[in-house]
């Protein structure tokens, strides 16, 4: 074996190579302003969308994120979506310590393949590859790179370099390369001053590029709009596209509607026996809404939801005859099937694309693009004297007839029509619909112990939170009800539920509870203190730290009416009744009062109504004052005095 001197080894293998990759992303190099109020810092994020043709795109992403503490650890992982129309070319990563020294690289065995089915999606095979490079010691930096080739160019990239609060950005870029003959449609939002689009032509291709630098982290603020409205973004969409041979244009909502309609045309034929069955089902029924309800009830009783989202199947429905034979389908198939059933019954209906989800917000109505993940059915009533529309959720076997709720209500849907449809609003649920009415009878003894009966009616979006309770086992009902009762010490003796009749304007559920409340109002000398407002105390939001940055966004309208009847023993009398409170502001109205009744009991009545609205940030002090006054009134105590009786 030949001996090689040490100095020769140095020449063959440079010291930098022996020591590993050169350090990068050292935390000490971060400007202090980017660390302030941040849980993580995007050191670099480069996103490139290369449009190869109307039928293919390539998305390349590289990001490096420094995680400063545990609250930022969500950024230590990366999820890359794929499907039969989207292929992952590569997926790489590495992690670095605080000094920038590489700790390790992402290995193939570190990447997990997972299902991402959400139960209702319109256009996804719902799979992904996820990698996690979390470290036990903070801070550290992760780096991920991946590329996805897509044959579903209906979706272009949306660039959101600062997607959440308490997340700062050192540098981020977004580049789109368009081939000759294809136009890029885009919409910019809240780009920092001085951030201008750079547009060039390279080898006949149009290149668009945006860059942001040194974006300080946003603080979380109470009652603020979603962060997606407050931070920089660029939304993009094709003007022309092709999915598995089906070409379309996307310059208007009508374009998208027409393409989707044509893709699903001629798939609504039913077996003759089923057509005859639908005609017999509604025979003799003159009320159009009642005929629709009978068909919807048949749908719910004879079908179930199952997600089938493969390739073009993300957009194209199963034929109605298949659903009739198998009894199941995805959102498109069940909506198409219900539409066919209604047609057999002589009723015209239209499928409609919608962005569904209880935590989702409405689409950007001023930027026609594919923003939808679900399909529902719109049934316009033909009776001129009762101009109205019935909306049907076709995937839920228990959903009340005509109710959209928080899943698809209060937003826009795109009607699918042969000539091209338009955006239409789904049912709006405001304060009158989202109602909670509670009546409580509280029987207090001389030692401050109590029993109570509570009867609560919840309607509209208030109903959504309790809709499933009635179908649970009693033990589970008690567990869930008990977990949301804001009472210190109690025993839940009885639970009962009764739904409102189907003819009610909006669905509702009546909940009846019987409670034992030991020590509800323990005596203190000759006095007993009790808060009449047992269960409806509205907390005041925290005051703004520094100048308020965001508008006030009240996105949930509701109304509340509480009546509490306090039945007192003869030995307890009120020392003094609190003064009534009446507040009327643009942010809401509130009133509370306590009345002495002839039978010796006391009646507490509280009303609160708040709108769905938006106010300028300058109004925050006035809004905060309103909430503080409501909170103080809600916590007001009644003083009872022991007598010799």
What CATH number has the domain bearing residue 96? 2.60.40.3140
- The predicted model gives 83-92 an average pLDDT of 93
- The predicted model gives 315-321 an average pLDDT of 90
Query: How far, in whole angstroms, is CA 381 from its chain's centroid?
Result: 30
Percent of the chain with pLDDT over 70: 93
Q: How far apart are CA 31 and CA 16, in angstroms?
A: 27
Tokens at residue 339, please?
A: 């539409």
pLDDT at 17: 42
Contact 482, 492 (CB under 8 A): yes
pLDDT at 8: 39
Q: Could you tell me which residue, 326 or 10, shows the higher pLDDT?
A: 326
CB atoms within 10 A of CB 636: 15
Contact 379, 389 (CB under 8 A): yes
| pLDDT at 6 > cutoff 70 | no
pLDDT band, residue 430 (cuts 50/70/90) = very high
Q: What is the CATH classification number for the domain harbouring 458? A: 2.60.120.1130
Q: What stretches of 397-530 show up as alpha helix (H) in DSSP?
A: 405-408, 461-464, 474-484
Tally the domains of the chain: 3
pLDDT digits (tens, 9 = 90+) for 17-55: 445 678 999 999 999 999 999 999 999 999 999 999 999
pLDDT at 11: 37
What lies within 8 Å, CB to CB, of 473 at 6+ separation is none
pLDDT digits (tens, 9 = 90+) for 146-177: 999 999 999 999 999 999 999 999 999 999 99
Of 243, 277, 294, the one marking the end of a domain is 243
For residues 57 and 156, membership in a common domain is answered with yes
DSSP symbol at 21: S
Q: What is the CATH classification number for the domain harbouring 350? A: 3.10.620.30
Contact 354, 411 (CB under 8 A): yes
| pLDDT at 2 > cutoff 90 | no
pLDDT at 191: 96
Helices and strands in the chain, H and E counts: 12, 37
For residues 200 and 295, membership in a common domain is answered with no
Of 402, 425, 448, the one marking the end of a domain is 425
pLDDT band, residue 295 (cuts 50/70/90) = very high
pLDDT band, residue 306 (cuts 50/70/90) = confident
For residues 366 and 513, membership in a common domain is answered with no
pLDDT at 312: 60
pLDDT at 307: 72
Maximum C-alpha span of the chain: 112
pLDDT digits (tens, 9 = 90+) for 550-589: 999 999 999 999 999 999 999 999 998 989 999 999 999 9
Range of the structural domain that residue 356 is part of: 252-425
What lies within 8 Å, CB to CB, of 532 at 6+ separation is 564, 566, 594, 602, 604, 636, 638
| pLDDT at 9 > cutoff 80 | no
Tokens at residue 448, please?
A: 């401050």
pLDDT band, residue 3 (cuts 50/70/90) = very low
What lies within 8 Å, CB to CB, of 496 at 6+ separation is 511, 512, 513
- The predicted model gives 516-533 an average pLDDT of 92
For residues 470 and 508, membership in a common domain is answered with yes
Tokens at residue 79, please?
A: 């999820």
> Burial level of 386, CB count in 10 A (0-12/13-18/19+)?
exposed
pLDDT at 486: 86
Q: Give the angle subtended at the CA of 185 by the CAs of 182 and 189, to the nearest 5°.
A: 155
CB atoms within 10 A of CB 116: 15
For the chain, what is the radius of gyration of the CA atoms? 31
DSSP symbol at 83: B
For residues 229 and 210, membership in a common domain is answered with yes
- Length of the chain equals 645
For residues 515 and 634, membership in a common domain is answered with yes
Identify whether 18 is part of a domain: no
Identify whether 562 is part of a domain: yes
Of the listed ranges 11-15, 168-172, 446-450, 541-545, the least confidently predicted one is: 11-15
For residues 408 and 466, membership in a common domain is answered with no
For residue 302, give the H/E element and its range: helix 288-302
Among 364, 362, 269, CA closest to 319: 269
**Span between the terminal Cα atoms of the chain, in Å:** 111
- The predicted model gives 335-360 an average pLDDT of 96
For residues 167 and 271, membership in a common domain is answered with no
Q: Could you tell me which residue, 85 or 255, shows the higher pLDDT?
A: 255
Tokens at residue 333, please?
A: 């198939």
Among 198, 211, 140, CA closest to 170: 211
Query: How far, in whole angstroms, is CA 363 from its chain's centroid?
Result: 12
Task: Give exposure, 398-430, as e/b (b: 16+ Cβ within 10 Å).
Answer: ebbbbbbbbbbbbbbbbbbbeebbebeebbebb
pTM of structure: 0.91
For residues 375 and 439, membership in a common domain is answered with no
pLDDT at 386: 54
Q: What is the mean pLDDT of the chain?
A: 92
pLDDT at 125: 58
What lies within 8 Å, CB to CB, of 18 at 6+ separation is none
For residues 194 and 84, membership in a common domain is answered with yes
pLDDT digits (tens, 9 = 90+) for 220-268: 999 999 999 999 999 999 999 999 999 999 999 999 999 999 999 999 9
Identify whether 555 is part of a domain: yes
What lies within 8 Å, CB to CB, of 256 at 6+ separation is 248, 250, 353, 368, 369, 370, 414
* Helix (H/G/I), strand (E/B), else coil: 292: helix
| Angle of the 331-344 helix axis to the 288-302 helix axis, nearest 10 | 140
pLDDT at 123: 46
For residues 453 and 514, membership in a common domain is answered with yes
Contact 126, 115 (CB under 8 A): yes
For residue 176, give the H/E element and its range: strand 167-178
Of 174, 208, 243, the one marking the end of a domain is 243
């Amino acid at each position: 074996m030949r001996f090689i001197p040490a100095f020769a080894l140095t020449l063959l293998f440079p010291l930098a190579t022996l020591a590993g990759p050169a350090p990068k992303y050292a935390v000490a190099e971060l400007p202090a302003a980017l660390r302030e109020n941040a849980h993580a810092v995007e050191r670099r994020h480069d996103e490139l969308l290369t449009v190869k043709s109307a039928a293919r795109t390539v998305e390349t992403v590289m990001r490096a994120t420094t995680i400063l503490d545990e609250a930022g650890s969500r950024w230590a992982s990366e999820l890359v979506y794929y499907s039969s129309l989207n292929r992952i070319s590569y997926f790489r990563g590495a992690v670095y310590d605080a000094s920038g020294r590489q700790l390790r690289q992402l290995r193939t065995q570190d990447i997990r393949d997972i299902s991402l089915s959400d139960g209702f999606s319109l256009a996804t095979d719902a799979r992904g590859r996820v990698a996690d490079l979390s470290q036990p010691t903070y801070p550290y930096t992760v780096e991920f790179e991946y590329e996805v080739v897509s044959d579903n160019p209906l979706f272009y990239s949306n660039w959101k370099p600062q997607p959440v609060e308490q997340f700062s950005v050192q540098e981020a870029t977004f580049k789109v390369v368009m081939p000759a003959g294809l136009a890029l449609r885009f919409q910019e939002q809240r780009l920092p001053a001085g951030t201008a689009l750079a547009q060039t032509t390279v080898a006949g291709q149009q290149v668009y590029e945006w860059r942001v630098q040194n974006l300080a982290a946003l603080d979380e603020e109470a009652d603020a709009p979603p962060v997606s409205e407050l931070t920089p973004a660029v939304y993009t969409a094709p003007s022309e596209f092709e999915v598995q041979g089906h070409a379309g244009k996307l310059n208007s909502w009508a374009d998208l509607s027409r393409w989707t309609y044509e893709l699903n045309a001629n798939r609504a034929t039913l077996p003759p026996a089923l057509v005859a069955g639908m005609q017999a089902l509604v025979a003799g029924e003159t009320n159009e809404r009642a005929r629709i309800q009978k068909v919807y009830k048949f749908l719910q009783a004879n079908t179930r939801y199952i997600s089938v989202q493969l390739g073009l199947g993300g957009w194209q429905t199963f034929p109605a005859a298949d659903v009739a034979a198998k009894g199941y389908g995805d959102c498109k198939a069940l909506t198409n099937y219900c539409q066919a059933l209604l047609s057999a019954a002589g009723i015209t209906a239209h499928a409609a694309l919608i962005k569904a989800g209880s935590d989702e917000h409405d689409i950007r109505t001023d930027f026609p693009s594919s923003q939808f993940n679900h399909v529902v059915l719109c049934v316009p009533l033909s009776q001129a004297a009762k101009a109205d529309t019935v909306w049907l959720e076709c995937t839920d076997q228990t959903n009340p007839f005509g109710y959209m709720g928080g899943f698809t209500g209060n937003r826009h849907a795109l009607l699918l029509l042969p000539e091209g449809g338009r955006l239409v609003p789904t049912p709006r649920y405001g304060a009158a619909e989202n109602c909670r009415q509670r009546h409580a009878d509280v029987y207090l003894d001389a030692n401050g112990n109590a029993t109570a009966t509570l009867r609560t009616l919840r309607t509209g979006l208030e109903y959504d939170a309790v809709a499933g309770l009635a179908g649970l086992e009693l033990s589970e009902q008690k567990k869930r009800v008990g977990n949301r009762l804001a009472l210190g010490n109690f025993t839940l003796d009885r639970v009962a539920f009764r739904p409102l009749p189907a003819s009610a304007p909006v669905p509702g559920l009546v909940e009846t509870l019987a409670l034992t409340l030991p020590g509800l109002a323990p005596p203190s000398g000759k006095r007993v203190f009790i808060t009449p407002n047992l269960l409806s105390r509205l907390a005041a939001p925290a005051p703004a730290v520094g100048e308020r940055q965001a508008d006030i966004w009240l996105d949930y309208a509701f109304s509340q009416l509480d009546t509490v009847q306090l039945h007192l023993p003869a030995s307890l009398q009120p020392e003094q009744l609190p003064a009534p409170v009446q507040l009327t502001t643009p942010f809401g109205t509130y009133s509370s009062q306590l009345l002495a009744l002839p039978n010796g009991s006391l009646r507490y009545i509280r009303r609160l109504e708040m709108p769905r609205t938006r106010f300028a940030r300058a109004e925050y002090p006035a809004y905060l004052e309103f909430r503080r006054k409501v909170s103080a009134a809600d916590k007001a105590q009644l003083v009872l005095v022991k007598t010799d009786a």
